[in-house]
Amino acid sequence: MVRNLGPQLRCQVSPTDDRDGGPEDTHARILSGLNDQQQAVVLACEPDVAVVAGAGSGKTETLTRRIARLVLDGVEPERILAITFTNQAALNMRDRAARYVPDARRIRLGTFHSIALALVMKNRHAMRLPDKISVLDTEDAVASLKKVAAALRTNEENLPRAATINKILSFARNTERTIEDVVHSQYPQYVHAVEFVQKVSSAYVQFRRRNALFDFDGLLEALAKMLEHERLGPAIASLFEEALIDEAQDLNALQIRIVRALRSHDVRVMFVGDPSQSIYQFRGASPDIMFTLIKECSAQVYLLETNYRSSAEILEVANAVEEAMRKRIPRELVSHCGTSGLLPRLIEVDDKAAEAVAIVDAILDRKNEGMELEEQAIVVRSTANFRHVEAELIARKVPYMVRAGVKVTEAGAVRDLLCVARASLNLGNEPAWMRILQLAPRVGERKAAKMVEAISGCGSLQNAIGIVLDAGLKNEAIRPVAHALRLVDDERGGPPAARLRLALNALEPLMEAEYRDDWKARKADVVAVIDIAHQHADLDSFVSSLTIETSIEKKRMGTVDPNEERPLTLTTIHSAKGLEWQAVYVPSMIEGHIPTMYAQAPDDVDEELRAFYVLVTRAKTHLEFFKPTVMPDGMLRTASRFEGVIRDHCGRERGARVPHGRRGGFGVRIQPEAVELW
């Protein structure tokens, strides 16, 4: 069924029409296998069309066939503009369209940024730009801002770093809000530095202009200005007759400005997306943008509601989540796959230790039933909520990959702490000493190297600590390093987890200063690794084991062996967008994770519901939510408010209790005398 939510203008075209001399069999082939709603999108001929495409509804294939139909019906391929959010998606769309109509290879397509760059380069002389234009990637932009900020820096403390300034400026430019507004709403800890950030912004603009540099946001701003120019705008827009814009729910204000400019020059626009999957509010996206665009364009709205991915049982959960949203387009996803007989499960466990064991048990049970690891995923709102499961995977040697960020053992703060352990165990471990010494302010590579040279021949850890303390007479900031080393040494023979926790307490002021805004998340990584240490009898075996595992994993990731088992995926919701797995496991179905603790205002709760909807619709047949009931301090956890949304559509059960021998480290502890190797 096709539901039209816009004006009641409809251009009916028979699937067998032979327009403009196009071969009837090609038209039939383009429409072959599509459902009625998909065919309606392919054949739509209104000037402005909005396609609300549900999760797993075959959106890409539908857009591909529409491109083929446009070319077959006489639209010059070069006058079709397809905008996607990745270049890979654009190339995939073009190649698939060319299977129906070879000339479709000539369409113009790419991301907003790649199209903006091409048009800026082509029209650089009209814009009075030099022949040589360079584009700054994010790393280069941050480096440039660092240089600009250094020239303006005052004696005032707690000024934002260049990376933070880049985020502030980028958000302001993409949402077309003022710097002051963004700082007050998103970065209140830097309200005192608004004037400084504004000065850096002005100087950064001059720096880019002087050196003919564009950053990514600058490319979009340039394209918008060109399209809005009284002479350049019509000339550029005349290149295009049709524009197809994918993932419209993720557009921000700056990108919408570009779309509006195209429409103002009579380019026919089809924008495709799903407001219920708009989860990039932190980048300036909002479902309101798509709703506004539909209304502003008086667009004809088409729905894609048949889901080709998930079982009917999983879609019952998805539809319930969507119904809980305040802002949505009425629709209901229907499963093409039918029922699987497997209800999603809500599993209550004692605590996070039991949760980790239960999740890994479930993964391995599925594997024994024939479901490969690569067909399974653990999906979370933030990486901190799978670190305890990661510890259990490491303990049980289950291969896995992390799609969001880095593995816990490779995180910077974790490496800092492990280097304290490595340095205490081996005075000759130069890389470890270099890393921990440079944690202290005003200790650069040269000073650290000088100390390392003295330490390597000093004979004992106590003497090495003395060398660090001597340096502390001139630079007090280095004393926490000496304190951490001393605490680790004083507890020699004690449990490795306890020794590492003492070292963390000593180093925390330095690490918090180093990682600043990211410290809370970084600390969670460190605590997760300390938990892994519980399964080891001594610090040396723990550090050696972790080093070997990390080294093997890096070698594995660097080569592709078709006979090697492909790993399980650990990912955040945002990194899972567009992906799918046979089985999805959701740890920590509790308040503070799903939804996040910051979800208080109605719009923020809706954003969390949309993220939850994306999570649910990643699963094909198996979907399991885990709910730990007790916190580490013994307090009861609060159930997720979203549990009430899904409870009636899930099977509920109590997870098995975990033996005490497996608590804390999520693995079996082996006493040193238990095994005789020689």
The domain that holds 543 is classified in CATH as 1.10.486.10
Q: Is 449 annotated as a binding residue?
A: no
Mean pLDDT of 310-323: 97
Q: Over the stretch 480-502, which tens digit does the pLDDT of each residue have?
A: 888 888 888 877 778 888 888 88
Quick one: pLDDT at residue 562? 53
In order of 421, 432, 449, 480, 518, the CA distances from 465 in angstroms are 13, 14, 15, 11, 29
Indicate whether 146 and 175 sit together in one domain.
Answer: yes
Quick one: pLDDT at residue 386? 85
What's the CA gap between 124 and 121, in Å, rounded?
5
Considering only residues 277 and 512, tell me which one the structure prediction assigns the higher pLDDT: 277
Q: Which residue, 211, 229, 260, sits at the end of a domain?
A: 211
Considering only residues 441 and 367, tell me which one the structure prediction assigns the higher pLDDT: 367
Q: Find the range with the poorest average confidence among 22-26, 99-103, 184-188.
A: 22-26
Q: Is 54 annotated as a binding residue?
A: yes
- Tell whether the torsion through CA atoms of 160, 161, 164 and 170 is positive or negative: positive
Beta-carbon contacts of residue 604 (< 8 Å; ≥ 6 apart):
595, 598
Strands of the 581-586 sheet, one edge to the other: 400-402, 568-572, 376-380, 581-586, 619-628, 345-349, 651-654
Indicate whether 418 and 347 sit together in one domain.
Answer: no
Angle between helices 387-395 and 352-368 (to 10 degrees): 50
Mean pLDDT of 524-542: 76
Alpha helix (H) residue ranges in 9-86: 24-31, 36-43, 59-72
Quick one: pLDDT at residue 407? 61
Tell me whether residue 678 is in a domain: no
Quick one: pLDDT at residue 530? 81
584 phi/psi in degrees, rounded to 5: -125, 130
Mean pLDDT of the chain: 85
Residues of the chain with pLDDT > 90: what percent? 49
The domain that holds 350 is classified in CATH as 3.40.50.300
Quick one: pLDDT at residue 23? 58
Indicate whether 517 and 371 sit together in one domain.
Answer: no
Quick one: pLDDT at residue 547? 60
Q: Which residue, 493, 519, 548, sits at the end of a domain?
A: 548
Element of type H or E holding 56: none
Q: Find the range with the poorest average confidence among 287-291, 474-478, 578-582.
A: 474-478
Indicate whether 83 and 166 sit together in one domain.
Answer: no
Indicate whether 205 and 226 sit together in one domain.
Answer: no
Under a CB-based contact definition with an 8 Å cutoff, are residues 269 and 239 in contact? no
Indicate whether 444 and 474 sit together in one domain.
Answer: yes
Strands of the 108-111 sheet, one edge to the other: 108-111, 80-84, 242-245, 268-273, 48-53, 300-304
Indicate whether 226 and 105 sit together in one domain.
Answer: yes
What's the CA gap between 390 and 409, in Å, rounded?
10
pLDDT above 50: residue 7: no
Quick one: pLDDT at residue 675? 34
Helix, coil or strand: residue 646: helix
Residues of the chain with pLDDT > 70: what percent? 88
Q: Over the stretch 76-125, which tens digit does the pLDDT of each residue have?
A: 999 999 999 888 888 888 999 999 999 999 999 999 999 999 899 899 88
Tell me whether residue 325 is in a domain: no
Q: Is 110 annotated as a binding residue?
A: no
Q: Is 55 annotated as a binding residue?
A: yes
pLDDT above 50: residue 4: no
What's the CA gap between 14 and 69, in Å, rounded?
13
The residue segments making up the domain with residue 588 are: 334-399+565-662
Quick one: pLDDT at residue 14? 36
Indicate whether 339 and 473 sit together in one domain.
Answer: no
Using pLDDT thresholds of 50, 70 and 90, give the confidence band for residue 676: very low
What's the CA gap between 182 and 160, in Å, rounded?
14
Tell me whether residue 49 is in a domain: yes
pLDDT above 80: residue 247: yes
Q: Is 225 annotated as a binding residue?
A: no
pLDDT above 50: residue 324: yes
Indicate whether 114 and 230 sit together in one domain.
Answer: yes
Quick one: pLDDT at residue 674? 39
HSE-up of 119 (CA within 13 Å, CB side)? Answer: 29
Indicate whether 383 and 294 sit together in one domain.
Answer: no
Quick one: pLDDT at residue 472? 66
Q: Is 64 annotated as a binding residue?
A: no
Using pLDDT thresholds of 50, 70 and 90, give the confidence band for residue 406: low
Q: Over the stretch 644-672, which tens digit does the pLDDT of each residue have?
A: 999 999 998 887 665 544 544 433 333 33
Indicate whether 301 and 361 sit together in one domain.
Answer: no
What's the CA gap between 216 and 226, in Å, rounded?
16
Residue 35, Cβ neighbours under 10 Å: how many? 17
pLDDT above 80: residue 281: yes
Under a CB-based contact definition with an 8 Å cutoff, are residues 217 and 174 in contact? yes
Long-range contacts of 187-195 (CB under 8 A, 24+ apart): 187/160, 189/158, 189/517, 190/158, 190/159, 190/160, 190/164, 192/156, 192/158, 193/156, 193/158, 193/159, 193/160
Give the residue from 337, 334, 329 showing the smallest Cα distance to 315: 334
Tell me whether residue 556 is in a domain: no
What's the CA gap between 544 and 484, in Å, rounded?
20
pLDDT above 90: residue 18: no
Tell me whether residue 124 is in a domain: no
Tell me whether residue 7 is in a domain: no
Tell me whether residue 2 is in a domain: no
Considering only residues 667 and 577, tell me which one the structure prediction assigns the higher pLDDT: 577
What's the CA gap between 8 and 279, in Å, rounded?
31
In the beta sheet, which residues pair with residue 524?
Answer: none
Quick one: pLDDT at residue 199? 96
Greatest C-alpha distance within the chain: 89
Mean pLDDT of 625-644: 84
Q: Which residue, 514, 548, 582, sits at the end of a domain?
A: 548
Mean pLDDT of 239-247: 95
Mean pLDDT of 293-308: 93
The tally of domains found in the chain comes to 4
What's the CA gap between 616 and 59, in Å, rounded?
18
Indicate whether 241 and 196 sit together in one domain.
Answer: no
Tell me whether residue 347 is in a domain: yes
What's the CA gap between 610 and 605, in Å, rounded?
9
pLDDT above 60: residue 559: no
Considering only residues 379 and 558, tell me which one the structure prediction assigns the higher pLDDT: 379
